[in-house]
Amino acid sequence: MRDFSQFEERISLKFNNKDLLRQALTHRSYINENPSFGLGHNERLEFLGDAVLELAVTERLFDMFPDKPEGELTSFRAALVNANMLSDIAVELEMNEVLLLSRGEAKDMGRARQYILANAFEALVGAIYLDLGYEAAKKFIERAVLSHLDEVLAKKLYKDPKSLFQEEAQERVGVTPGYEVIREWGPDHDKHFVVGVFLEKELVAEGEGPSKQLAQEEAARNGLRVRGWV
């Protein structure tokens, strides 16, 4: 059985119930391949952790910005707890090294892995809450998530990528971006899209997603990075 003690050191926490930590790091696909594993997958813990994460971040933002309206605080929170941010944080914590995945999922390092990492991070928060209590979970969230608040504010990550890319493009080059579907595949219930963001006829970047809207957002986010506008 895998030893998670080094991971506990990395996150500066020691679990009383090691099974909670193990379950938080177990993806559904691993259970499918290892039905005798003895524990469930991490989706229930993810559900709980999502709520704990949102409460802790909301509390902190509410205290930090007494003069900000609800709408701005909501945008700040969304930038801190979205899948992109949480998957990046999970990578920082080297969660890729400890996730229990099926052999197939372990090979896939694309967009799907980002969602798996983000969900596993939420499950980890849920496990910390159950095992060590809300204060321990809150302190962990302060270290791991709220430490990125300065970056969110400096880079205006609280603005949705499409709005930010449009503002920058109009200000810097006097062009309003356009979006086009480059590829799409899959049945109606499981579509996948690749969308390009263009400045006039120039393809700046592409984005992938399970909907055109999410693919456009990813394309805009990548476009900001490619152009160095963040």
Question: Active-site residues: which are they?
Answer: 50, 122
Q: Which residue has the tokens 């910005």?
A: 65
How far is it, in rounded angstroms, from Cα 193 to Cα 186? 9
* CA distance linking residue 28 with residue 97, whole number of Å: 17
In angstroms, the CA 27 to CA 23 distance is: 8
DSSP string, 123-158: HHHHHHHHHH-HHHHHHHHHHHTGGGHHHHHHTTTT
Write b or e for each residue in 117-142: b if 16 or more Cβ atoms lie within 10 A of its Cβ, otherwise e.
bbbbbbbbbbbbbbbbeeeebbebbe
**Cα–Cα distance, 141 to 109 (Å, whole number):** 25
Strand runs (DSSP E) across 41-123, as ranges? none
Cα separations in angstroms, 151 against 23, 81, 102, 137, 142? 31, 13, 34, 22, 14
